[in-house]
Amino acid sequence: MSHYLARGCGAAIVYAFAAQGALADLTAEDVWTEWRAYLTGVGYEISGNESRTGSGLTVTDVSMSMQLPENSGMFSVGMPELEFRENGDGTVSVVMPARVPMRFEATDGEEQVNGEIGLGQTDASLVVSGSPADMIYTYSAAQMRIALDSLMVDGQTVPPEIGHVSMDLGNVASTTRVKQGGMRDYSQTMQADQVTYDVAFKDPDSAESAKIKGAIQGLSFEGTGRIPMQLDTGDLQKMMADGFAFDGRFAYASGSSSMAVQGTGDDFSYEGSSQGGSLGMAMDASHLAYALSQTGTSVNIANAELPFPVSFQLQEVGFSIDMPVAKSDEQQPFAFGMTMAGFTMPDMLWGIFDPGAILPRDPATIALDLTGKVKVLFDLLDPESAAMMEDQPPGELHALTIRNLLVSAVGASLSGTGDFTFDNSDLQSFDGMPKPAGKADLTLVGANGLIDKLIQMGFVSDQDAMGARMMMGMLAVPGDAPDTLNSTIEINEQGHIMANGQRIK
């Protein structure tokens, strides 16, 4: 249900995140006509009583409603009055109520849920400029608030002390440009000084409860999108085929959050903060991309089963993926990245397994950066493809480049790069895996010193350590620096595996 609500809210209030203007005349009717065309195009039914005034157009008893997919419910927005006021300079101001109610009803066949979400605005201003085919919206508000104002489950009212959800945005400003051709092309920027959210639920029949709170400072957004004139929101594959696409990035200066779960017999609490980060997403008919990054992360966790709170810090954390989603006979590029840099934890945790402080406690890092090429065998956005993928892999790997590999912890580090191709016509040479060809260059620093410390701690026996050192001697050669090993692992076209020129398979 939350997916449907998010989509419905976004479509209904898309114009509340608006834009900055061009030099052409607009009429009130131009703006209202475009609103109706857009909302109708994404599946809303629109009604209202229009009346022309001396300064523009007033629409009363405004109703916007959308049937949720598979007849699972309804989402609607109602306003007693919506005014489109011509300013005399070719621009139009849109005056909305201070509070816009958004109602929903949904069912999964067993449970009926009804509710109302309120969108509140303080000192709001929305000005539209440009031309009918190229409208620019400028929006600002001292405060925006989105809150779950009422909720009913199977006809029973859920009081606020049982469940509430709210989000507040301070000093909001946005600019959106909407250009029409065969599609609606959007470009948008948005800023908010602060965003806070508060979510809480309590089971009325027990002591179980959950609370989530957080704040984000210096939120910004920049993105573009394309929306077909007629959009079938119930068919993702068709949406993409018709040209729907978006590419956007959120960024923030700092953030904090907390969560507490109580009364379950396994009480849990979490507190976290960061010094900033970003979240980017892009999607079209051919690919899906996602990128997350955060700096200065600090986490504290307490659990009823833990003897003491757990805390750790990360200087940098990141994750990214860019993958093709459309079936193609051609090879398509992909990329994957992961970073956990500067991981540290307190001495109390170290003391559990290293009370003598034998291991170096330098910040740990894990980083991986991959690119490559794949052949996609199914349209991954097609629900019917899911059944086919149960019996056959969704794609074939044809090339893989290791741009960066780094694992650094407890005084030792492994780094490397590599480049491989894969022959999908040969699945016998490597036990069902496409036959690889290529090489990887690896460097291992501090391995012998780490083994010595593990022996001292009693974690590794002398016999096991001897076996590990013999294996390193087979696969690597000494480097120029102390306790450094270098290795070039190569797989040739004949399927032979070579380590520093010596065949090992």
Residues 6+ apart with CB under 8 A from 466: none
According to the model, what pLDDT value does residue 15 have? Answer: 39
According to the model, what pLDDT value does residue 417 have? Answer: 98
Could you read off the pLDDT of 20-32 as tens digits, one per residue? 333 458 999 999 9
DSSP state of 240: H
Angle between helices 462-475 and 447-457 (to 10 degrees): 170
According to the model, what pLDDT value does residue 220 have? Answer: 98
Could you read off the pLDDT of 313-368 as tens digits, one per residue? 999 999 999 999 999 999 999 999 999 999 999 998 898 889 999 999 999 999 99
Structure tokens that stand for 283 in this block:
């999607």
Interatomic CA distance for residues 193 and 218, integer angstroms: 5
Interatomic CA distance for residues 283 and 93, integer angstroms: 33
According to the model, what pLDDT value does residue 381 have? Answer: 83
Closest CA to 62 of 47, 45, 43: 47
Query: Which residue type sits at 421?
Result: T
According to the model, what pLDDT value does residue 111 have? Answer: 83
Interatomic CA distance for residues 154 and 374, integer angstroms: 49
Residue with tokens 């004139």: 229
Tens-digit pLDDT string for the chain (505 aa): 333 333 344 444 443 333 333 345 899 999 999 999 999 988 899 999 999 988 899 999 999 999 887 778 899 999 999 999 999 999 999 999 999 999 999 887 778 899 999 999 999 999 999 999 999 999 999 999 999 999 988 888 888 888 899 999 999 999 999 999 889 999 999 999 999 999 999 888 788 899 999 999 999 999 999 999 888 777 788 888 889 999 999 999 999 999 999 887 788 899 999 999 999 999 999 999 999 999 999 999 998 777 788 999 999 999 999 999 999 999 999 999 999 999 999 998 898 889 999 999 999 999 999 999 999 998 888 877 767 777 788 899 999 999 999 999 999 999 999 999 999 999 998 988 999 999 999 999 999 999 999 999 999 999 999 999 999 988 999 999 999 999 999 999 988 999 998 888 8
Q: What is the dihedral of CA 3, 9, 15, 18, to 10 degrees?
A: -70
Interatomic CA distance for residues 334 and 370, integer angstroms: 8
Closest CA to 314 of 340, 292, 338: 340
| Strand-pair partners of 107 | 112
Q: What are φ and ψ of residue 407, in 5° steps?
A: -130, 115
